[in-house]
Amino acid sequence: MSASNVTKDIFAVGILNPAMRIFDVVMKTEYGTSYNSYVVKGAEKTALVETCHLTFFDQYLENIRQVTDPAAIDYIILNHCEPDHSGVLGRLTELCPKAKILVSQAGSLYLKNITNNPSLPISVAKDGEQVDLGGKTLRFISAPFLHWPDSMFTWCPEEKVLFSCDVLGSHYCEPYTFDTNMAYPAKYEEAFKGYYDAIFGPFPSYVQSGLAKIRQLDVQTVCTSHGPVLTRGCRLEWAMEQYDQWSKPHKNERPLIPIFYCSAYGNTRKLAQMIQAGILEQIPDADCQAYDINDYDMGMLQGLLNRSDAFAVGSPTINADAVAPVWNLLSHVDAINNRKRPVLVFGSYGWSGEAVPNLVARLKGLKSAVFEEEFRTIFVPAEEELQKAKECGKRFAASLAK
Ligand SMILES: Cc1cc2nc3c(=O)[nH]c(=O)nc-3n(C[C@H](O)[C@H](O)[C@H](O)COP(=O)(O)O)c2cc1C
Ligand SMILES: [Fe+2]
Ligand SMILES: [Fe+2]
Would you say residue 254 lies in a domain?
Answer: no
pTM score, two decimals? 0.88
pLDDT at 247 over 80: yes
Quick one: 113 and 142 in the same domain?
yes
Instruction: Supply the residue whose CA is at minimum distance from atom 21 of ligand 1.
Output: 379
Percent of the chain with pLDDT over 70: 100
Pick the closest to residue 46 from 30, 69, 21 (CA basis): 69
Q: Give the model's pLDDT for residue 401.
A: 85
The helix (H) or strand (E) run that includes residue 205 is helix 204-215
Q: Give the model's pLDDT for residue 166.
A: 97
Q: Give the model's pLDDT for residue 1.
A: 82
Which residues are near ligand 2, the ion (C-beta closer than 5 Å)? 82, 147, 166
Q: Give the model's pLDDT for residue 183.
A: 95
pLDDT at 56 over 80: yes
Would you say residue 214 lies in a domain?
Answer: yes
Quick one: 236 and 346 in the same domain?
no
CA distance 135 to 43: 6
Mind listing the pLDDT tens digit for each residue in 267-325? 999 999 999 999 999 999 999 999 999 999 998 999 999 999 999 999 999 999 999 99
Quick one: 73 and 218 in the same domain?
yes
> CATH code at 16?
3.60.15.10
Quick one: 97 and 146 in the same domain?
yes
Q: Which of 225, 247, 269 is the last residue of a domain?
A: 247
Beta carbon of 348 within 6 Å of any ligand 1 atom: yes
Quick one: 45 and 144 in the same domain?
yes
- Which of 318, 319, 348, 378 has the most ligand 1 atoms within 8 A of CB, as the residue to mutate? 318
pLDDT at 215 over 80: yes
Quick one: 225 and 372 in the same domain?
no
pLDDT at 262 over 90: yes
Would you say residue 334 lies in a domain?
Answer: yes
Would you say residue 252 lies in a domain?
Answer: no
Q: Give the structural domain span for 295.
A: 259-400
Q: Which atom number of ligand 1 is nearest to the Cα of residue 315? A: 26
Q: Give the model's pLDDT for residue 23.
A: 85
Cite the DSSP H helix spans in 263-340: 267-282, 298-307, 324-331
Quick one: 346 and 213 in the same domain?
no
CA distance 48 to 58: 16
Instruction: Supply the residue whose CA is at minimum distance from atom 2 of ligand 1.
Output: 318
How many domains is the chain built from? 2
Would you say residue 46 lies in a domain?
Answer: yes
Q: Which atom number of ligand 1 is nearest to the Cα of residue 378? A: 21
pLDDT at 62 over 80: yes
pLDDT at 402 over 80: no
**Across 37-45, average pLDDT:** 98
Distances in Å between the alpha carbon of 114 and those of 120, 122, 225, 226, 326? 12, 13, 19, 21, 35
Q: Which of 33-42, 162-171, 331-340 is predicted least confidently? A: 331-340
Q: Give the model's pLDDT for residue 125.
A: 98
Q: Give the model's pLDDT for residue 372.
A: 85
Beta carbon of 265 within 6 Å of any ligand 1 atom: yes
Quick one: 267 and 128 in the same domain?
no
Beta carbon of 267 within 6 Å of any ligand 1 atom: yes
Q: Give the model's pLDDT for residue 373.
A: 79
Would you say residue 253 lies in a domain?
Answer: no
Q: Which of 216, 247, 278 is the last residue of a domain?
A: 247
Helices 383-400 and 267-282: crossing angle in degrees, nearest 10, is 40
- Which of 269, 323, 349 has the most ligand 1 atoms within 8 A of CB, as the residue to mutate? 349
Beta carbon of 358 within 6 Å of any ligand 1 atom: no
Q: Which of 197, 219, 247 is the last residue of a domain?
A: 247
Quick one: 289 and 209 in the same domain?
no
Of the pLDDT bands very low, low, confident and very high (cuts 50, 70, 90), residue 26 is confident
